[in-house]
A and B are shown apart, each in its own frame.
Chain A
């Protein structure tokens, strides 16, 4: 658990982050979203003390982060940035081994961890371990960047616009991978983005920032249905908020008992995607099935629409 207490940062007379308080739950993804200049990156960088706060403090599992040298703190916290920041003179394996090397892991353990991470990120160790970053595609570089951030099994992973430089298709894939990895390792992830779609797609909780303040910090559905501030409702978008709300629920969660002779949809698909599918196919209902093919129930258009209204 990360506790942010009254955290502030001033540069001269300018206040960049203004008295932020947040409690970030373990094993969850928290997304900080805001326009450029809102202070979201500064807030993130104060968690691993790349920026030293001028006021307030950060506790990780109850321990004040200011109580140890910053470089030791950072070795326990994963950090991934836009444009990956890989070392161009080191191979993929050497890049991933950076923090384990700093922590003095023995070679066998480092090698095993590097191979494991490469496999998790669908990069064949035999093919990729000895390559240099410039020999990889943009998407592969980004995956190596995240793998490097996770190398020393950190409990917390900070990500600063990690997918900002990727094209839309690779970006969606990278987001899916991140969700998988969060489930697999149970890492507490704090991610900064200016992209509201990304925030809704990834965040268990979303914090909306403007002018150094957190305007609202809650589950995505609450941000949509009960925005605390006109700025929040502008950020979350009033035109398609019903569809955004639908995208937060999966077919599996919303499925009702009973069978349907309509098209089969995956339980993991969002209601937004199921609705789109039904409209396209001209069907009234869909059969919800698990990944292994077992029936989970059915969904009618009316039942889906009910999920798109504030309750």
Chain B
């Protein structure tokens, strides 16, 4: 009798965790929160209360299906497809909830995604990233996945699918400023990175060539790294303010105690350590025999540096640049505190007004930018490492 029973597949551990968390979110946490205006606390609402019966049931049925796949299917493609299906359904459900709860023409009522929505999204995201890890996609495929994801999200946003949700309400009010601050955000992050690379590469090469300087330079940069960002802004304010007062040209160029100048300078200083340290580490791993052979064959010092050493160190240097870029995209948020602009403007304004939707308008794009930068540079590092080692 026991022998004829079908053997149970082994239950996937991550699947069990994700399913349990997701189920708890659906049962115990509000899917959306309805607020009569943007700053008052809202009323929690479940899916069944908001959507038509058939839609709520379809949504729950899909989530149960995803949970079954998470528990019992080991095929990574299947798991990825199920997780993405879950993300789409949950996103459509929250959009539909927004539409259902907003009276036509009412611009004051806010429908915000609730804790249940966010937890479900995290659980599904975990399942999707786990499936992608199991698939071991090449760097090109990972970039393609990112592009697809961004394209789908972008199309949905442009189409107005989420227009009745609170974050998009904040966006509608701030659309002009959002574009400007987003551009400023990217400029601050990339500008300080570019300046840091220009300075850090020669500094790294110097540290590699003159071991006596290495401890001093890396130690100093390490010390800078330990200064909290806000403190560093404060420290830079006085000398930059004095500089602007003393040198009119500096003031004309936009160098002042507050604004973008101290922000860029602080980000630049934070960026130095990872790039210098990785340049040193990358040069250190270049085979001494290859450098010796290059000298012995009559390559000049410059040819050896650019044609052998830096090329071989490039994947490690790029890893440092990746660290800096992701770190900068996050840190730029704080630049808003001293008038540097960037998406942090919305975060701090939102905190000031206790308008959490406005905070999210600044925070979500920042996270998306940092995530995209990480995926792109990781792919680049892998491509370099593959062709050059």
B interface footprint on A43-54 (CB within 8 Å = 1, 0 otherwise): 000001010000
Q: Given contacts A79-B293, A134-B389, is CB(A85)–CB(B298) below 8 Å?
A: no
Q: Is the CB of A84 within 8 A of B289?
A: yes
Q: Is the CB of A99 within 8 A of B389?
A: no
Find A81's partner among B293, B311, B389 (CB 8 Å cutoff): B293
Shortest Cβ gap from B1 to chain A (Å): 58
Task: Tell me the complex Cα distance, A213–B290, Å.
Answer: 30
A88 cross-chain contacts in B, Cβ below 8 A: 287, 290, 312, 388-389
Shortest Cβ gap from A89 to chain B (Å): 4
Task: Tell me the complex Cα distance, A88–B292, Å.
Answer: 14
Find B298's partner among A82, A84, A102, A158 (CB 8 Å cutoff): A102
Q: Is the CB of A81 within 8 A of B296?
A: yes
Task: Tell me the complex Cα distance, A48–B297, Å.
Answer: 9
B interface footprint on A61-98 (CB within 8 Å = 1, 0 otherwise): 00000000011111110010111111111000000001
Q: Given contacts A71-B298, A74-B297, A102-B298, is CB(A85)–CB(B292) below 8 Å?
A: yes
Q: B269 contacts the other chain (Cβ, under 8 Å)?
A: no
B296 cross-chain contacts in A, Cβ below 8 A: 48, 50, 74, 79, 81, 85, 158
Task: Tell me the complex Cα distance, A87–B298, Å.
Answer: 14
Find A102's partner among B295, B299, B308 (CB 8 Å cutoff): B299
Report B291-320 residues with CB < 8 Å from chain A CB. 291-300, 303, 308, 311-312
Q: Given contacts A48-B296, A73-B298, A99-B298, is CB(A85)–CB(B290) below 8 Å?
A: yes
Shortest Cβ gap from B297 to chain A (Å): 5
B293 cross-chain contacts in A, Cβ below 8 A: 79, 81, 84-87, 145, 148
B interface residues, tally (CB under 8 Å): 20
Q: Is the CB of A79 within 8 A of B297?
A: yes
Shortest Cβ gap from A113 to chain B (Å): 15
Task: Tell me the complex Cα distance, A134–B290, Å.
Answer: 13
Report B258-310 residues with CB < 8 Å from chain A CB. 287, 289-300, 303, 308
Q: Given contacts A89-B388, A89-B389, is CB(A75)–CB(B287) below 8 Å?
A: no
Closest to B312 in A: A89
Shortest Cβ gap from A174 to chain B (Å): 17
Q: Is the CB of B289 within 8 A of A89?
A: no
B interface footprint on A234-263 (CB within 8 Å = 1, 0 otherwise): 000000000000000000000000000000
A interface residues, tally (CB under 8 Å): 27
Task: Tell me the complex Cα distance, A86–B387, Å.
Answer: 15
A102 cross-chain contacts in B, Cβ below 8 A: 297-299, 303
Task: Tell me the complex Cα distance, A193–B229, Å.
Answer: 58
Task: Tell me the complex Cα distance, A176–B299, Å.
Answer: 30
Q: Is the CB of A75 within 8 A of B297?
A: yes
Task: Tell me the complex Cα distance, A251–B191, Å.
Answer: 76
Task: Tell me the complex Cα distance, A269–B298, Å.
Answer: 39
Q: Is the CB of A98 within 8 A of B297?
A: yes
Q: Is the CB of A71 within 8 A of B300?
A: yes
Using A50-B292, A70-B298, A102-B299 as known contacts, list a sample of 20 further A-B pairs with CB atoms less than 8 Å apart, ordered by residue number in A: A50-B296, A71-B300, A72-B298, A74-B296, A74-B298, A81-B296, A84-B289, A85-B290, A85-B291, A85-B293, A85-B294, A87-B290, A88-B389, A89-B311, A89-B312, A89-B387, A99-B297, A145-B293, A148-B297, A158-B296
Q: What are 27 inter-chain pairs, A to B, with CB distance below 8 A?
A: A50-B292, A70-B298, A73-B298, A74-B297, A75-B298, A79-B297, A81-B289, A81-B293, A82-B289, A84-B293, A85-B290, A85-B291, A85-B293, A87-B293, A88-B287, A88-B290, A89-B312, A89-B388, A98-B297, A98-B299, A99-B297, A102-B297, A102-B299, A102-B303, A134-B389, A145-B293, A148-B293
Binding site for A on B (CB under 8 A): 287, 289-300, 303, 308, 311-312, 387-389
